[in-house]
Structure formats: C-alpha cells, structure tokens
Amino acid sequence: MWNYTDKVMDHFLNPRNVGEVKDPDGSATVGNISCGDALKLTFKLDKDGKIEDAKFQTFGCGSAIASSSVLTEMIKGLTIEEAKKITNQEIVDVLGGLPEAKIHCSVMGMEALQAAIADFRGEKYEEDSETDREGNIVCHCFGVTDVKIRRIAKENNLHTVGDITHYSKAGGACGKCKDEIKEILDGIWNVKRKEVETTELPIVMTFAQKVMKVQDIIDNDIRPMLERDGGSIELVDLRENTVIVRLKGRCAVCPNSKITIRNTVETRLKECISKDLTVEEVK
C-alpha cells in the first residue's frame, strides 16, 4: 500500500498554478500520454530575469500532479541558473517523500523544467543525452539504452530492477527486458545472481488458504493502492495458479490496464504468495 504524505495529498487535491502561462518565455512538454504520463510546463520571467510565473498541465496520476504543482512553486522567484540546478530528489524532498513506484513523476518534473529552460535559451532539449542514445536499446517499450541504465543506476545508487523502472520506466511495460536490466546491475555492483526469495509461507498451502491469502492481499494492499488513483479491483476467481480479477473505476478504462495487472497486481501477489502465480483480467 502506498503511503502519501500530507504535502503530496495537498498538492494533489489543491494543485497550484494549473494552466498555461500566456506568452511564456519558456515552454516544454515531456513524457508521452500513450505511456501514461505527460507534462507541459510554461514560465515567464520578470524584468530582473527571475521566474515570475509558472504553470503546468499534466496527464498522469496524483503523484504527477503533486510533483508538477510543487515544482511550479519551487521555481518562482529563481533565476534560470538557480532553477536549472533543481533535481528530482529536491522535488521529492519538498513533498516529504514519494512512494518508490512514483519517483518517475519527480523525474518527469525535472525533465520538463530542463526542457523549458532549453526552450528559453533557444536550445534543443533531449530527454536522453547524446551519450545515453549511443548505447544499445534494452527496453524497446520506452527506448531506454544500457548506457542510460548504467548512468541512472550509478547517479542514484540503484540496485534493483524495480528501482530502474521507478526512475526511467524501463521494464515497466512488457517486462521482457528485466533479465537484461538485472544483468547490467549485477555487472555494475558485482553482485552474484540469485533467485528472489518469496515471503515465507507454509510448505503446503491448501486451495482455501491460497484463496484467503490472495483475497487478503487484494483487499488490504492492492485495492487501497489503486483507489488512491481513482481505481479499484475485485477477485473473481482462482484457478490453480491463475488469479482472475476485474479492474474497476479509472483502472477499468485506463489504456495502461495491462501494465497495472502485470507490474502492480501480479508482481505484488508473486512477492507475497508464490512466484508461480499469474494474473488475468476479465471485463
């Protein structure tokens, strides 16, 4: 279950500076709606060269809204050089923290700011540096290279595939690249590969025990997580190691529902119950 700070909830429920600055000095859009997140940031300078006004428009979850909202507050009154130094970790710190799975929202805010500053300076902004693009693509869903994975892992002290996904989304769609990401991380930190231990459970679990355990995880862990973003979920059936669920609310109509099933529901059930479980959605 994700725990949001009061500051995150405040900026989500009462976002500041929503909209678009008229005749902005800097403007940029980053992300991709088809991938689930997009952010447009605009700002205007005063006569002293400081950011007088900043506004945002975002398509994303509550964390994306909160990160964008607090960012516009943070940069007001700063010079371009001062604003350019803001990192995603500073956005997270001002919010009092973000769940690990939502760190990419703060990264998107930082990238939007960097892109808007580049627009003001008449420069071309690339979300990935030229060096990042020179590598071999590992995650084809989001176009993330091995060079970029190594860079963000070292810069942010990331040791797990989940950490990489939280920062770059790599591995967050089809999941085919997760083994390669793990190999890259093992190479960086010189860690020997080993199977992930699942939560200790009785050696023999009856069908009834398994149903009750699945229902408990859905009721007390997964559903509250989805409800924070306007969605919900219900257990429909359990057929051997296949969990049948139905998404509800915003999750039911979300174009990324398959990603939610795989990366949120299935991953959590595998962690808590058995790595042999798979999850299927019914409408």
**At residue 42, what are phi and psi to the nearest 5 degrees?**
-130, 145
CATH number of 6-120: 3.90.1010.10
Per-residue CA distances from 29 to 44, 58, 119, 276 (Å): 16, 9, 10, 41
Provide the residue ranges of all domains of the chain, joining segments of one domain with +: 6-120, 130-189, 207-281
Q: How many CB atoms lie within 10 A of CB 61?
A: 20
> What residues are labeled active site?
35, 105
* Cβ pair 192, 171 in contact under 8 A: no
Q: What are 90-146's pLDDT values in tens digits? A: 999 999 998 877 878 888 898 899 999 999 999 876 655 555 566 788 887 677 888
| pLDDT for position 281 | 92
Q: What is the pTM of this model?
A: 0.54
Domain 130-189, second-level architecture: Orthogonal Bundle (1.10)
- 84 vs 259, which has greater pLDDT? 84
> What integer is the mean pLDDT of 258-283?
86
Residue 6's pLDDT band, with cuts at 50, 70 and 90, is very high
Q: Which CATH superfamily is domain 207-281 in?
A: Fe-S cluster assembly (FSCA) (3.30.300.130)
Is the pLDDT confidence value at 196 over 50?
no
CA neighbor of 7 nearest in space, from 76, 58, 74, 54? 74
Mean residue pLDDT of the chain comes to 84
